[in-house]
Structure 1
Amino acid sequence: MAGSDENYPGVIRPSNLQGGLRPGVGGKVNGGLGQNRRALSTINRNVMGAPPLHCAVVHKRNDITENKSNAATNKIPPVPIHRPITRKLAAQIASKQHQPAIEVTKPPVPVVPIRNESADCIIIDAEDYKTTGNSAVPMFVQHTEAMMEEIDRMDEEIEMEDAEDWSIVDIDSPDKKNSLAVVEYIDDIYSYYKKAEIVSCVPPNYMEQQFDINERMRGILIDWLIEVHYKFELLEETLYLTVNLIDRFLAVQSVIRKKLQLVGITAMLLACKYEEVSVPVVEDLILISDRAYTRKEVLEMEKLMVNALQFNMTVPTAYAFMRRFLKAAQSDKKVELVSFFLIELCLVEYEMLRFPPSMLAAAAIFTAQCTLGVSKEWNKTCEKHSSYVKDQLLECSKLMVCFHQKAAIGKLTGVHRKYSTSKYGYATRCEPASFLLEAWF
């Protein structure tokens, strides 16, 4: 069986020539075979002369298409095909020449544009929008107006608060490092005092229950105890607590006249035990009373008093409020001495029991400021810490001025003599603030 000529490219055989002689029927030369075919050399020449096939690769970079295959073609010359062309390979090459080149492109990558905020931000003035009159005010414009109005209102409130804060002095700032000043909860303590004084206040008409003693006798007793307190050099707190114990006991227990002085020295004994470090002995109190009572009588009265008071010794007296309000008023030593002089004049007067201790303290400081010409006003800082305004203090202040005017006359002059000494700065030499008594003030 004759083999195919395709496998022998280097051998020249009759079948390789176009129109070559082949034995045919009747010894004739058969030249009709191969006329309908193209010569393989022609196909080979066409293929070698044609440009090589390539695939275009498209890259999108800033909207510029780059064909890398064209650049590669320009740089590298085509390599001739030396592979023998067979009918099968020629048919495949011919079919590929009629097909268009396939362009492979990558999908475009979405690029986020850089947004110009200044160009996109549009500011609309609500007033300008209203003046056009073309349409109703949008909802976002209404919300913007409401928000701006609220901000303006808050700014006004902050300005008012700032203005008020400037007029109120922080009196506790110098004592922040003093642990004994208890700056952290000092305001809470005095808030409690204000509530407790209402409960502990003595009824102003309790003397009506006493049938054998009267207001004058009470005044004489307290005036004498003020001198005893001064001679024993006791603490100021002891004097105010002594007077409070007397009034609270007489409000619940009826006492005969000859036992009134015994009530006084026993109340001082209890107050000394509560306030003093060095307590006077019972014999000293008996001696100061000119031995009117025995030791047994003093101890029995002590037992009776603590049971009648149910052992409630702690009460907010006027002295506690005096210290706080003097600090709020930023008072000097002279104002302090005149303030205590005026409030001790009130201890003797029965009618002053109708005022709470905090009001007595505030009125005494206000009256002392007016007496010394320091100020005729009750400033915002004093109002804040005392919870009283000037108009609330005027009635009590006028009574203090009256007591000041007659302090050196009459029988109850123990307070005047005490404050006429150099120890108390000769506070009695100040002229009373008589202008407080005038109707126009």
Structure 2
Amino acid sequence: METVNENKHAISKPSTNFGEMGNRRALRNIENFVGAPRSYACPVTKKQSTESFAASQAKKEQLSLAVYQVADHKSVSDSPIPMVKELEYMKSGESEIEMEDVSEDTTLVDIDSADAKNPLKVVDYVEDIYETYRNIEETSCVDSDYMATQPDINDRMRAILINWLIEVHCKFELMDETLYLTVNIIDRFLERQNVQRKKLQLVGVTALLLACKYEEVSVPIVEDLVQISDHAYRHQEILGMEWLMVKTLQFNMSVPTPYVFMKRFLQAAQSDKQMEFLSYFLMELCLVDYNMLRYRPSLLAAAAVYTAQCSLKGYKLWTKTSQFHSTYSQDQLIECSRLMVELHQKSGTGKLTGVHRKYSAYKYGCVAKSEPALFLLE
């Protein structure tokens, strides 16, 4: 079996046989189905003479026609205005006022209006939720130089571990949230606890187990984790490390990771699938790179969306809607974004290419093969 070595420390590649893991499905994209409102005809309850009935119907038809022509845009478009009258209308000041109002209204897009009737989107207090995330995201951050306190491991070993876990996460077909929480648990634990290099992979698989228990509907069994680590650890060792990790972290698993911000910022950017895949690709490259720990989760997420937008569009693009919901301007993102471009540029080289291989697949739109936004480095 192939291994990756660093200072005689080996992390085995995940085995392709995980036993009977069952069908792991998460409840996603639950739509809110609301029946269409019914319309009922109003019965005539009073007899009318032929003349009065005809007269009243004529008046109703005239009134209905007037309302229809004003309210229904189809009737207006079906009967075009003569060019002379249209030019006279364009000369008036009213049209200029209307155009200015439209441009001002569309500057900041209401990204929650489409979800107003979906109770799962909690539109009424979604802004309060993200305000709380921004206030407490410091609790999920670690010292960007915490490896200096570790006597037996270094940032290169951490990168090997995260790269391996991304492959494991992909093979288990776990949810995206699980990966981000796994990496967060590893960093917070290593900041507080010294770990021998031979136990680093044990920390990784145990963090994955804890994240699965928190995020997944169906959790991998411990024997699966023993098998993917090539039986380097026994069942009881994983359970013992689990006890140590939750005690060290004081059972605090509910922290805002870059993933929760990414979902909101992609919505603000009105992204499509290609942009979504590219943003996650850049974000997972940051998970592997130890140097990216200097940035807050919300800034990492905003920079990933901004960099992906620039890569796909071919020019700098950061709308006022994105700036409003992320609270970051282009100037605040550019430093982090340039580092992401460099990571994108060299993602297919070297030994740690797990993220590049993952996002080179058709399932993820082959976004790893897209051109990086090199113009941001100028």
How does the TM-score come out when normalised to structure 2? 0.72
Q: Distance in 1 between matches of 2:248 and 2:225?
A: 22
Counterpart for residue 37 of structure 2: none
Cα distance 1:163–1:373, how it changes in 2: closer, same or farther (>3 A)? closer
Counterpart for residue 242 of structure 1: 182
**How many pairs were matched up?**
280
Counterpart for residue 366 of structure 1: 306
Q: Distance in 2 between matches of 1:390 and 1:161?
A: 26
Cα distance 1:362–1:192, how it changes in 2: closer, same or farther (>3 A)? same
Per-residue deviation at 1:199? Answer: 2.5
Runs of 5+ consecutive residues of structure 2 not aligned to the other structure: 1-99
Q: Is the 8 A contact 2:140 2:257 kept in 1?
A: no
For each residue in 1:143-180, what CA deviation from the matched residue of structure 2 results, as whole angstroms up to 9, or x when unmatched? xxxxxxxxxxxxxxxxx999754300000000000000
Q: Distance in 2 between matches of 1:218 and 1:430?
A: 27
Of 259, 275, 280, the match for 1:319: 259
Specify the SS of the correspondent of 2:313: coil
Counterpart for residue 297 of structure 2: 357
Per-residue deviation at 1:280? Answer: 0.2
Cα distance 1:374–1:321, how it changes in 2: closer, same or farther (>3 A)? farther
Say if 2:323 is the partner of 1:383: yes
Per-residue deviation at 1:374? Answer: 6.2
Cα distance 1:299–1:412, how it changes in 2: closer, same or farther (>3 A)? same
Between 376-385 and 170-179, report the one with greater CA deviation.
376-385
Of 161, 167, 170, the match for 1:230: 170
Counterpart for residue 296 of structure 1: 236
Q: Is the 8 A contact 2:314 2:373 kept in 1?
A: no
Counterpart for residue 201 of structure 2: 261
Say if 2:355 is the partner of 1:411: no
Alignment of 1:5-84 (within 5 A): none
Q: Distance in 1 between matches of 2:234 and 2:294?
A: 35
Counterpart for residue 138 of structure 2: 198
Say if 2:157 is the partner of 1:217: yes
Counterpart for residue 173 of structure 1: 113
For each residue in 1:183-242, what CA deviation from the matched residue of structure 2 results, as whole angstroms up to 9, or x when unmatched? 000000000000111222111111111010000000000000000000000000000000
How does the TM-score come out when normalised to structure 1? 0.62
Per-residue deviation at 1:377? Answer: 2.0
For each residue in 1:265-285, what CA deviation from the matched residue of structure 2 results, as whole angstroms up to 9, or x when unmatched? 000000000000010000000
Per-residue deviation at 1:313? Answer: 0.3
Counterpart for residue 276 of structure 1: 216
Runs of 5+ consecutive residues of structure 1 not aligned to the other structure: 1-159
After the TM superposition, list the runs of 4 or more consecutive aligned residues in structure 1 that deviate by more than 3 angstroms.
Answer: 160-166
Q: Distance in 1 between matches of 2:239 and 2:160?
A: 23
Q: Is the 8 A contact 2:206 2:241 kept in 1?
A: yes
Of 274, 277, 295, the match for 1:337: 277
Percent identity over paired residues: 65
Counterpart for residue 208 of structure 1: 148
Specify the SS of the correspondent of 1:255: coil
Give the counterpart letter for 1:223 in structure 2: N
Q: Distance in 1 between matches of 2:128 and 2:343?
A: 34
Q: Which has the higher contact order (CA 8 A, sep 6+)?
A: 2
Q: Distance in 1 between matches of 2:235 and 2:361?
A: 34
Q: Distance in 2 between matches of 1:420 and 1:296?
A: 37
